[in-house]
Amino acid sequence: MPFDASAYGRHVAAVYDDTYAHLDPAEAVERLAALADGGPVCEFGIGTGRLALPLLARGLTVAGIEGSPEMVAGLRAKPGGDRIEVALGDFAQTRVPGEYALVVLAFNTVFALPDQAAQVACFRNAAAHLRPGGRFVVEAWMPDPGAFRAGSALRPVRVAEDEVLLEAAVLHPAEQRMTTTKIRLTDGGVRLLPANHRYAWPAELDLMAELAGMVREHRWAGWAAEPFTDDSREHVSVWRRPEAA
């Protein structure tokens, strides 16, 4: 079946903001603004604007690429959402006009691409959006195949009085893929939120950046620039397009 960049949003858009309302984006926004250094920002998989709208509110020019019309409708419905240019399409291939100081691919969304070739194309597309010296930042979890006893797992993501979010996952290690469905339980009922991941370790992402002509500048354990160590469960990585010779 051909890859469908709109599939995730079709299932998730109606409950996306409620599901992730408990996450405070302030640290990420602070770091992204520092990395952009006043220049224009393009977010791949901009979604409903969780990061993009606070960046816009800080006076930055923001654009994005998004596969899901439902997620873009959510963005447009918010104050400022109509001031962000969004190209509808797959961020591995789609171009949004402009030359950017920063391209952002946050919240593990690099793994939403179906295979290595699509991820390499995405890194090349990010580099093509950057002005010389511009930065590409990726936020992603560290793959942990050992957590999938007998190939599958069910784990709580969030337990609150008004919501329980579980994640059921099956690992396909031969292809570095994971099939997951989040199960959201609320007083309103049960909602299934499917998402597929083609996961990669940071070293593979470094090679993708190199193929796209970029050089790594930072790897942190999170948005507060914590040191990346053996115990880090996620990373925020920054690569730069070299300055013109």
Among 90, 137, 208, 223, binds ligand SAM (CB under 6 A): 90
Say whether residue 9 binds ligand SAM (CB under 6 A). Answer: yes
Window contacting ligand SAM (CB under 6 A); options: 4-12, 126-134, 145-153, 220-228: 4-12
Q: Indicate which single residue of 112, 121, 178, 212 sits in contact with ligand SAM (rule: CB under 6 A).
A: 112
Q: Is 8 in the site for ligand SAM (CB under 6 A)?
A: yes
Helix (H) or strand (E) holding 27: helix 26-36
Stretch that binds ligand SAM, among 31-39, 107-115, 166-174, 233-241 (CB under 6 A): 107-115
- Contact between 106 and ligand SAM by CB under 6 A: the answer reads yes
Give the three-state DSSP class for 8. Answer: helix
Nearer to ligand SAM, 229 or 233 (CB): 233
107 scored as a contact of ligand SAM (CB under 6 A): yes
CB of 244 to ligand SAM, least distance (A): 29
Rg value, the chain, Cα: 17
For ligand SAM, the closer of residues 37 and 115 by Cβ is: 115
- Coil, strand or helix: which one is 94? coil
Helix (H) or strand (E) holding 54: helix 52-57
| Sequence-separated (6 or more) residues with CB below 8 Å from residue 122 | 44, 91, 92, 105, 110, 113, 208
Q: Which is nearer to ligand SAM, 97 or 146 (CB)?
A: 97
How far apart are the C-alpha atoms of 235 and 85, rounded to whole Å?
28
Our CB check for ligand SAM shows the closer of 46 and 126 to be 46
Residues 162 and 175: their CA atoms lie apart, in Å, by: 37
Of 107, 100, 81, the closest CA to residue 29 belongs to 107
For residue 171, what are the β-bridge partners?
Answer: 178
- Which residues in 47-76 contact ligand SAM (CB under 6 A)? 47, 50-51, 65-68, 71
Instruction: Please select the residue that binds ligand SAM; options are 36, 113, 205, 214, rule is CB under 6 A.
Output: 113
CB closer to ligand SAM, 128 vs 229: 128
Q: How many residues of this chain bind ligand SAM (CB under 6 A)?
A: 21
CA distance 229 to 226: 9
Angle at which helix 202-211 crosses helix 116-129, to 10 degrees, equals 50
H-helix or E-strand spanning residue 98: none
Question: Which residue, among 66, 93, 78, 80, has the nearest Cα to 12 in the 3D structure?
Answer: 66
Binding ligand SAM (rule: CB under 6 A), the pick from 19, 109, 176, 237 is 109
Positions in the binding site for ligand SAM (CB under 6 A): 5, 8-9, 45-47, 50-51, 65-68, 71, 90-92, 106-107, 109, 112-113
